[in-house]
Chains A and B, each alone.
Chain A
Amino acid sequence: MDETRFEEDDYEGAANKKYTFFVIDGSPAMFETSKDGEESEFKSSLKLVLNEMVRICCSRSLNNHIGVVVTGTKNSDTEGLENSCLLVPMGVLGQEEVNTIKELVDEEDILSAMKNLSGGHHQSDLSNVLNYCKRVFASCPNTRHQSVIYLTNNGNPFGRDDFWESSYFKRTKTAVTKIIGLGHRKTLGEFSVILLPEDGYKPQNKEEKRKEPWYQLDTEVFSTECDASARIRQKITAQRSHASLTVNVGPGVTFDVSVFSMVMEARPLDHSQKYTKDTEEKIVKTSGYVTKKAKLEIECEDDNETSSSIDETQKTLQKCKLIQEEAIRNRRDLKKSIVLGGEKIILDGEQYEFMSEVNSKGVDVIGFVPLDRVDREVSVVSSKIIQPNDQTTVGSTSIYRALLDRCWARQQAMVCKYQSRSKQKMRIVALVPFKKDMTLIEPKLCGDDDEEMEDKKPDLLRLEQQRAQVDSSEWLHEGFMLVGLPFREELRDDFRRFEEQQTVLTTESTKDQIDTMKKFVKRLTMSYNPSFYENPRLLSERSALCLEATGEELIERKDTLEPYYQIPNRLQRVGTEIEKIVETFHLTDEMKEEKAKPKAGGKKRKTAEESESEPSAKKVMTIRECIEAGQMTNFKKDELLSMAIEHCEAPKSIKSKTKNDIISLIELYLNENSSTTWNV
């Protein structure tokens, strides 16, 4: 039922391949350095390519095929590719390919290294290279996305100002058109030009842009929305929609949309395949479903025996045998059972499926609600956006835009019944409009009773939002966002907790207290967008993998999630504010008190840096801390038993239960009696 399943790279499978050629301009100008000490643009290009190659190699997917070509070389060993050198032939990358590029980047004298490779410079024809790329694309199966990325520092290689008249430009234009294709149904073709240096001249208005030859071939060439590496990434990862659906507005009014995931958790690198250390043999898994009884029998047996190596072998054989001969290998063949209301109900696969099957694929508009009624933070679907799809229904874009414009202006959301595929879970969703222009929002006629807005000018809010957009333009898309509204079972009511807060915390914060905090907050308020923080785990995995594969730490391993107070200048920034907080809330006494207290949990109150080296097991801990740290299994059964009897009102008879049962009994008791705890 997991809706993210179809988006995962692994699942895209062989049917969804992406082919990208990096074509690097190899003319002499690319090897020159404009400023002393700066690297040549050829080297920058190679680095951009290398980074992307490394990134692709460190992902879980094998669907990205890459080739690298350098133009303008004397020799060419490749048929059909004139005066250009194929550094990396189109294919799935590996250690060898990455190292080819890496060695070149590492050369002190790239120019002579290139000369050795290709025999020196010679004029080449870009259209010839592009035609070669097109032929390679055509020979590849299952193409979903074909892309050529040309890296150059030459604003106009076509030799004349009226480049459009030149036959070279015309040839190139034709070749580009072929690559982009005219919409062969599922293949997306792209041609992009990365013009170096990145901070070079960029025409602003359309008139000037039109005068640029590259603009004629790639309208995004001067885009400032993101930097070169981000653009490359965009071009390589073709976005496939999560689903194509029909939106039913009412009788006779339907249009088509595609659903895209905006965010998807990048999972840790796959290392499930294991090998024996001595012989590097592949370790495989035999698995199947056996009755619980059979499994217990086989596992208990081995507890009683001494485990010599023969026994291990025996056990392995025994297990394999059991799995191979008796197990049900296919999950489909299993039945499902549940005990309810005194009956054991057994369902076969068909019944089980039929039981919760709904066939209402698509988006069915139920009605409109004011936007502020939709609590987007409690969405139970990871964020998605829908975009109109004119390919299947003409006019989809028009009605989509009209709905978007009016819903945005009136701050209305569409509530819909939503099912992405016939066997996926049916949900109620809100389609929440988003447009960049805040000024289009119409003021409400009736008085705004939203207290949040009361003393703030709406303009200020808008300004904040507008500013936020500048920081995150890369991830800001206009359109309807899809918010999965929770069902009753998916939502918890906070009311009782709020009431409890109200009764326990009777004194309201004074203005002074709040102002103290405000000063602190203001000092640490900074812009934010997701690119600020990399996943340290992935970074570390990639760094290690890269080091192993290329001999160099191409990716730096670092913890990007450091708290601000570990960064000296940030800590300094709020020095006085922290003092003020300590003073206002009389925290000095409490801090001292805590330090003096040697008992439970005292150690963890020291600053973070100090506590890390402490071996946690030796600490005096409370039982609750043990549970949270997952250390319950470290206790002996007798210890657990006496704790359960002493603290948890457990009957003596639990002696007969297993260790795990006692642990869960203790945990359950603690959950139910939130005030109970003891030291261990």
Chain B
Amino acid sequence: MPPKKASPGITVLLIDAGANMAEKTTDSEKTDFENAINTADWIISRKLFSEDSELFTIMAYNLDPSQAVTQIKKQKFEGVAVQNEEFTHASFDHLKFITHELHQNTNHTEPQFFKGILAAVAILKEQIDSYPNPSGVTLIVLTNGMNENIRQENYDLLVDAISETNADLMIIGIKENPEYPASRIVELAEHLEGRSYTFENVSKMLSSYQARHKSERKYNKMWDIAPGIRLPVTFALKSEKSSALLKFKNADSEGNEMVRMEQMHVESHDPVDIPKEDIKIDKNSKQTMSKEDKNYKPVENIKTMHGYNFGKSVIMMDPDYMKEKYNDHNFNEGQTGGVLKLIQFTKKANILDSYLVDASAKTVLPSLNSPASGTTKATVALIQAMFDLRVAAICRYTFHAKSHVQLVALIPHRDDETGVFYLRSVKLPFSDDMRTLKFPKFSFDEDEQDTNKPTVAQLSAVDDLIDCMQLKETEISTLVEGGMSDPKLQMQCHFLKSLVLHPDDTMENHTVRTNRILEDIMAPKTRFEAENSEIYKKLGREFNLQPIQKTKRERVIVEPEDLQAMITEWTVKKEQVVEESEEDGVSQKKKKKLGGGGAKKLSRREEVELELNEEGGAGRVCSKILQMISNTCQFQSSGALSGFFELLVNEIKVIRTVFVEKEQCDEFNELLKKLKEEEDFEPFAAVLAEDKTCNPISTSEVSTSQVSDSDAAEFWEED
């Protein structure tokens, strides 16, 4: 155990801003200075978004000595600038400093590498004095090392100074096999057991943002394999679907954190049994509750029943009774730390891919608390035995003393590199979790007719495709073996960074970035396509793939100007029709509705009201609008189409209002669900999702509604 808690690591990033940095390394379009800034940017950004605990400051040297002078502990360093003498966590201030404030010194001045390092060392020392025992000290120098001439006595001084701070020296920007004088700096790095890299080297390592460090979440279990035989094993997370990698909080427009608040109460239309005066709570506003017909009875301390659905019947169950008789349906034995108990072994082949339910795997190894014990030896031997026999174990599993029981499979593996045998734990499904699917078959008995059998030529075309589209080793490790960072994280980090640093062109900048990410992912394919275009032609010929236009309903192609004309026409017609009687033909009504968004809203509303009063009217109103939307969705998308959609959205809103007034809701809510879920309505659903005001009617609006307030509010949410 460490005697005293270490303070966070400290790093100085020292950038060469001298005229020598104007050079361009071969085949690079950027100057070394630009490369240095870019590298520094990545180093800081990665730390910033991963919320690294390391403390930072940035310095620059080879600046104009007449302008930049830094004083550290009475020592003056000319031509050296420091972003902040206080070390802080990586922040946007650091980024602003290097991107906005730091400029290259174009005048040729005396090379200052020596001074720069000494200044950095001085600042490191000062920091160590006030916060002793940092968990690491790093000095990163970004320079091409040109034009530096370090005399031997200075060289020795540097070695002493750096050694004194115990700093790891890292030099970035010196090209490979450097000549004198840059080679001197490499020598220095080697002498101090530091490292030196070219800009290219590091750009590969640094070109993506990092997520916060995730906990490794290890936990121990005793594996009961027989009465009295308990094998100690340790679980650790192996893979897991990532949730939000950056943690956003809900906030109001000032950025105050918003939290969800819920209040349970009885809602009835019984007379309110609380005197009206009591309802005035907030003495300042002196308002009474607006909805006086609701009976807000507290329910915190009264007994409740749980309503279970048995089909359409609601069955009341007493939670106390459930607890007493069924232990809340929990079969956990209540053992502290949960259990892992052997149920059976089975051939590994019996664990089909299609059973993997949890999208998460864990690595299970023998615990190392008492390596020499018999149980540990038994664990190791058991895993190897399972591996040799290609057998997996199926176990009863509970995480802790209260969690529900689960079924896990422990599948034996052997690590290629170390030869260590280990188990992989995956959750197995229960019988109810498996879906009973049925698909047309692809294998046929001899006496059966096989209509879609691929021809020899087709198969050989596919063989060629497989041959020419083989991924390279590096691509496999990126794409298949988890080498790629989540594009979503990259996009979010990039967006936030650009929002802070260049708020004006964030949107455009972001789109460019997103496309780059997609291009990067598809890069291998782009290469295949360029190299082997003829194979795709061959495939195309062999298979003759033909997309079908939806034939059931004709696709109507209308030019925007036609649409405009139609809208006008309908609006005019509508106005006429309104004057006429209610007994219109269906087709006329349809047209009338399409124009219903404008000034005649009220009359349209009355119409809906009338119709709702009829028996089955609610269903009719909804199916009509659905028909209209469906027709409209068949148009090819164009600017004018959004005009139609707008009208339809208004129409839906009107219908909604009337439904709420009439205390009806089911048909309307069904309508919305349908719009949201059926693919046919996708273009229109997109408009509604954008609009977000057309939510299902919730319980608070119409009490018979099955939709809770929160579900209604989040109806169009995608997350």
Indicate whether B322 reaches chain A with its CB closer than 8 angstroms.
yes
B670 lies within 8 A of A335 (CB): no
Interface pair B431/A533, CB less than 8 Å apart: yes
Q: Which residues of A contact B222 (CB under 8 A)?
A: 604-605
| Complex Cα spacing A289 to B256, Å | 11
On whether the beta carbons of A316 and B238 are closer than 8 Å, the reply is: no
Within 8 A of B (CB), among A528-554: 528-538, 540-541, 544-546, 548-549
CA distance A523 to B52 in the complex (A): 52
Judging by beta carbons under 8 Å apart, are A477 and B354 in contact?
yes
- How far is B396's CA from A559's CA once the two chains are assembled, in angstroms? 11
Chain A window 181-218, contacts with chain B (Cβ cutoff 8 Å), 1 for yes, 0 for no: 00001100000000000000000011000000000000
Residues 637-667 of A contacting B (Cβ, < 8 Å): 649
Select the stretch in A126-134, A148-156, A501-509 that faces chain B.
A501-509
Question: Quick check: is B98 within 8 A (CB to CB) of the other chain?
Answer: no
A405 CA / B454 CA spacing, docked (Å): 9
Binds B, one of A42-50, A107-115, A157-165, A254-262: A254-262
SS of B interface (majority) = mixed
Among A14, A318, A432, the residue within 8 A (CB) of B670 is: A14
Neighbouring A residues of B262 by C-beta, 8 Å: 285-287
Residue of A368, A397, A528 near B344 (CB, 8 A) is A528
Question: Are A525 and B333 CB-contacts (below 8 A) given A380-B359, A489-B211?
Answer: no
A549: which B residues are within 8 A, CB to CB? 310, 313, 315
Whether A564 lies near B344 (C-beta < 8 A) is: yes
A399:B385 contact, CB within 8 angstroms? no
User: Is the pair A94, B386 in contact by a Cβ cutoff of 8 Å?
Assistant: no
Hey, what's the 0/1 contact readout for A416-439 against B, CB within 8 Å counting as 1?
010000011110101010111100
Known: A494-B422, A630-B400. A354 touches B507 (CB 8 A): yes
B229 close to A587 (CB less than 8 A) = yes
Tell me the B521-576 residues at the A interface (CB within 8 Å): 521-522, 524-525, 528-529, 533, 535-537, 539-540, 543-548, 552
What are the residues of chain B within 8 A of A369 when measuring CB–CB? 470-471, 476, 480
Q: How far is the CB of B209 from chain A (nearest CB, A)?
A: 10
Are B375 and A383 in contact, with the CB atoms below 8 A? Answer: no
* Listed residue (A237, A347, A406) with the most chain B CB atoms within 10 angstroms of its CB: A406
- Known: A376-B356, A521-B386. Contact between A499 and B333, CB under 8 A? no
Which among A275, A395, A557 is the interface contact of B543 at CB below 8 angstroms? A395
Q: Mark B290-314, 1 if CB is under 8 A from A, else 0.
A: 1100001111111111111111111
Q: How far is the CA of A632 from the CA of B347 in the complex (A)?
A: 41
- Using a CB-CB cutoff of 8 Å, which residues 375-419 of chain B contact chain A? 375-378, 380-382, 384-386, 388-391, 394-396, 400-402, 404-405, 407, 411, 414-415, 417-419
Contact B261 A289 (CB under 8 A): yes
The distance from the CB of B474 to the nearest CB of chain A, in whole angstroms, is 12
Selected contact of A536 from candidates B267, B333, B405, CB within 8 Å: B405
A488 touching B470 by the CB < 8 A rule?
Answer: no
A239 vs B465: C-alpha distance when bound (angstroms)? 32
Asked, given contacts A334-B252, A628-B338, whether A432 binds B310 with beta carbons under 8 Å apart, the answer is: no
Closest to A485 in B: B480
Q: In the complex the two chains form, what is the Cα distance from A536 to B403 in whole Å?
A: 13
Q: Is the CB of A533 within 8 A of B428?
A: yes
0 or 1 for each of B628-656: is its CB under 8 Å from A? (1 = yes): 00000000000000000000000000000
Interface window among B118-126, B140-148, B365-373 = B365-373
Identify which of A97, A343, A611 contacts B335 (C-beta below 8 A). A611
Are B384 and A253 interface neighbours, CB within 8 A?
no
| Selected contact of A276 from candidates B302, B330, B479, B548, CB within 8 Å | B302
| A271 and B303 within 8 A (CB) | no
> Provided the pairs A92-B312, A608-B341 are in contact, do residues A628 and B432 lie with their beta carbons within 8 angstroms?
no
| Beta-carbon contact of B354 and A385 below 8 Å | yes
On whether the beta carbons of A366 and B525 are closer than 8 Å, the reply is yes
B484 at interface by CB-CB < 8 Å? yes
- What's the least CB distance linking B494 to chain A, in Å? 9
Residues of chain B in range 243-257 having any CB-CB distance to chain A below 8 Å: 245-253, 255-257
Residue on B nearest A621 in the bound complex, by CB: B336
Could you mark each residue 672-685 of chain B with 1 if its beta carbon is under 8 Å from any beta carbon of chain A, else 0?
01100111000000
* B281 & A271 in contact (Cβ 8 Å cutoff): no
Question: Cβ of B548 and Cβ of A393 under 8 Å apart?
Answer: yes
> Which chain B residues numbered 432 to 477 have a C-beta less than 8 Å away from chain A?
432-443, 447-448, 452-454, 458-459, 461-463, 465-466, 469-471, 475-476
CA A118 to CA B513, docked complex, whole Å: 73
Is B191 engaged at the interface, CB distance under 8 Å to the other chain? no
* B61 CB–A CB distance under 8 Å: no
Q: By the criterion CB–CB under 8 Å, are A331 and B377 in contact?
A: no
* B344 proximity list for chain A (CB < 8 A): 524-526, 528, 564
Chain A residue nearest to B470 (CB atoms) is A368
Residue A329 at the B interface, CB < 8 A? yes
- Alpha-carbon distance between A368 and B495 when the two chains are bound, in angstroms: 33
Chain B residues near A481: list those with CB within 8 A.
353-354
Contact indicator per residue, chain A 473-504, by CB within 8 Å of chain B (1) or not (0): 01111110101111111111011011111101
A402 closest partner in B (C-beta): B454
Q: Which of B215, B299, B533 contacts A251 (CB 8 A)?
A: B533
Complex Cα distance, B264 from A282, in Å, reads 10
Q: Are B317 and A544 in contact (CB under 8 A)?
A: yes
B203: interface (CB < 8 Å): no
Number of interface residues, chain A, beta carbon within 8 A: 275
Most buried by A among B261, B374, B424, B713: B261
A599 at the interface (CB under 8 A from B): no
CA distance A342 to B96 in the complex (A): 12
Instruction: Report yes or no: B311 in contact with A561, Cβ–Cβ below 8 A.
Output: no
Are B355 and A343 in contact, with the CB atoms below 8 A? Answer: no
Q: Inside 8 A of A587's CB, which chain B residues have their CB?
A: 228-229, 374-375, 378
* Distance in angstroms between the alpha carbons of A381 and B537 in the assembled complex: 33
Are A540 and B326 also in contact (CB < 8 A) when A14-B674, A415-B480, A489-B485 are?
yes
Residues of B contacting A527 in the complex (Cβ-Cβ under 8 angstroms): 346-347, 350
Q: Which of A94, A379, A528, A537 contacts B329 (CB 8 A)?
A: A537
Q: Is B709 an interface residue (CB 8 A)?
A: yes
A451 interface neighbour in B414, B510, B536, Cβ under 8 Å: B414
A266 to B431, alpha carbons, bound, how many Å?
Answer: 9
| Chain B proximity of A61: nearest CB distance (Å) | 9
CB-CB under 8 A from A6, the residues of chain B are 677
Task: Give Cα A255 to B310, complex, Å.
Answer: 43
B279 in the interface (beta carbon within 8 A): yes
CB atoms of A545 and B258 under 8 A apart: no
Task: Give the chain A neighbours of B214 by CB distance below 8 A.
Answer: 489, 492
Q: Which residue of A lies closest to B397 (CB)?
A: A561
Interface presence of A95 (CB below 8 A)? yes
B159 sits at the interface (CB 8 A) = no
Known pairs A320-B296, A509-B384, A628-B219; A276 contacts B708 (CB<8 A): no
B residues less than 8 Å from A13 (CB atoms): 670, 673-674, 677
**Which residues of chain A have C-beta atoms less than 8 A from B659's C-beta?**
none
Q: Which residues of B contact A62 (CB under 8 A)?
A: 309, 311-312
A365, A514, A557: which has the most chain B beta carbons within 10 Å?
A514
- Within the complex, the shortest CB–CB distance from A347 to chain B, in Å, comes to 8
Q: Is the CB of A206 within 8 A of B448?
A: yes
Q: A97's contact among B299, B311, B479, by CB below 8 Å, is which? A: B311
Shortest Cβ gap from A378 to chain B (Å): 4
Contact B347 A525 (CB under 8 A): yes
Q: Which residues of A contact B373 (CB under 8 A)?
A: 590
Chain A residues positioned under 8 Å from B310 (CB to CB): 57-58, 94-95, 98, 545-546, 548-549
The 5 listed contacts between A and B (C-beta, < 8 Å) are A262-B435, A288-B709, A330-B692, A464-B347, A498-B420
Chain A to chain B: the 8 pairs with minimum beta-carbon distance, closest first: A517-B385, A277-B303, A13-B673, A378-B239, A535-B430, A337-B251, A342-B91, A402-B454
Known: A320-B296, A517-B381, A559-B405. 17 other contacts (CB 8 A): A1-B718, A13-B670, A263-B434, A275-B306, A276-B303, A277-B304, A283-B264, A284-B264, A289-B250, A295-B259, A312-B300, A377-B411, A378-B361, A379-B356, A517-B385, A585-B375, A604-B335
